[in-house]
Amino acid sequence: MKLFKSFSNYLSLVKFSHTIFAMPFALIGFFLAVVYENKDFDWKIFIAIILCMIFARSAAMAFNRYIDEKFDKLNPRTAVREIPAGIIKKENAFLFVIINGVLFIATTFFINKICFYLSPVALFTILFYSYTKRFTALCHVVLGVGLSLAPIGAYLAVTGFFDILPILFSFVVLTWVSGFDILYALQDEDFDKEHKLNSIPTLLGRKKALVVSILLHLITAIIVLAIGYIGCFNYVYWIGASLFIGLLIYQHTLVKPNDISKVNMAFATTNGIASVVFAIFVIVALYMQ
């Protein structure tokens, strides 16, 4: 029972449920490679991709909690998190980061050479995000870059080379994540200003930050439509694209300059549903080509 409780604490530390944002796009990258390049479905590669996603994201989130401990302790919204609340010791969280980082790189070794050689770059990118709020308001974009590695990384795992469609899916993730992370950052606008932490809301204010988020999601929608055209996808893709874009629009009806009470619904629930629904329709469309 104690072991289970400890395990659940670490799942909570890394917000394991939020894996739902990037994981579906990693699956898109995998199946895109399998179908477009006429590759056999390789269970070893498939499981390795899932493990890489889990290990990399766990390392990134735990590292974020580790270096932000002093800020999390001061912020009423985050003071209940595992490290400031004393549920998980700071040094144990750092050990957890190291273990997951090593497991991520080790797993890529069993995929192919290019994934293994690029794994330290990928790990550095996702860990580096945690420092960015200290010196740039573009921290949201850095987060987007980190998560955008999912589809192209999965495609590389199967094929060993880059291609235009997985790169475009990566740009979807980049602009989509950057846009919704700005919404999430609205919650801490006053705290971040007080403690000299950077974000789009602290730089531009709430109204302009919402405009930037909308523009980023407009770019996301354009790229999603471009993928459908370039990839010559069938009607199933277009249904999925319409639902995904519709959910992007919907989340912006939930967050207003004078009311951010539904920001968590917009951030977690809506985007989680959007990524899963989109991935299902894309994968089905691929097999109906």
Which H, E and C letters describe 193-209, residue by residue? HHCCCCCHHHHHCHHHH
User: Which of the listed ranges 36-40, 77-81, 106-110, 257-261 does the model predict with the highest average pLDDT?
Assistant: 106-110
Structure tokens at 174: 């980049």
Give the span between the Cα atoms of 32 and 128, in whole angstroms: 29
Cα angle, residue 228 at apex, residues 31 and 17 outer, rounded to 5°: 50
Amino acid identity for residue 280 in this structure = I
Q: Write down the pLDDT at residue 59.
A: 95
Radius of gyration of the chain (CA): 19
Give the span between the Cα atoms of 32 and 98, in whole angstroms: 31
Q: Let me know: does 78 contact 72? Beta carbons within 8 Å.
A: yes
Q: Which helix (H) or strand (E) holds 80?
A: none
Domains of the chain: 14-287 (1.10.357.140)
Q: Please enumerate, as own/partner, the contacts of 263-269 that have beta carbons within 8 Å and a separation of 24 or more.
A: 263/183, 263/184, 263/186, 263/187, 266/180, 266/183, 267/180, 267/183, 267/184, 268/17, 268/18
What is the chain's mean pLDDT, rounded?
94
pLDDT at 134 over 80: yes
Helices (H) and strands (E) in the chain, counts: 14, 0
Percent of the chain scoring above 90 in pLDDT: 87
Give the span between the Cα atoms of 289 and 285, in whole angstroms: 6
| Sequence-ordered list of residues with C-beta below 8 angstroms from that of 11, at least 6 positions apart, any chain | none
User: pLDDT per residue over 155-191, tens digit each?
Assistant: 999 999 999 999 999 999 999 999 999 999 999 999 9
Percent of the chain scoring above 70 in pLDDT: 97
Give the span between the Cα atoms of 263 and 201, in whole angstroms: 14
pLDDT at 60 over 80: yes
Give the span between the Cα atoms of 48 and 109, in whole angstroms: 10
Structure tokens at 173: 């993730």
Q: Write down the pLDDT at residue 1.
A: 54
The model's confidence at residue 27, banded by pLDDT at 50, 70 and 90, is: very high
Q: Let me know: does 59 contact 13? Beta carbons within 8 Å.
A: no
Q: Let me know: does 277 contact 22? Beta carbons within 8 Å.
A: no
User: Count of alpha carbons within 13 Å of 183, Cβ hemisphere only?
Assistant: 29
What is the rounded average pLDDT of the residues 62-85? 94
What is the rounded average pLDDT of the residues 280-287? 97
Q: Write down the pLDDT at residue 147.
A: 96
Give the span between the Cα atoms of 35 and 39, in whole angstroms: 7
Nearest to 100, CA basis, from 66, 48, 143, 53: 53
pTM of the entire structure? 0.95
pLDDT at 2 over 70: no
Q: Write down the pLDDT at residue 224.
A: 98
Give the span between the Cα atoms of 131 and 133, in whole angstroms: 6
Name the residue with tokens 């009311």: 259
Structure tokens at 167: 């790169």
Position with higher pLDDT, 123 vs 19 = 123
Structure tokens at 190: 């006053």
pLDDT at 4 over 90: no
Q: Write down the pLDDT at residue 34.
A: 96
Name the residue with tokens 């479905």: 41
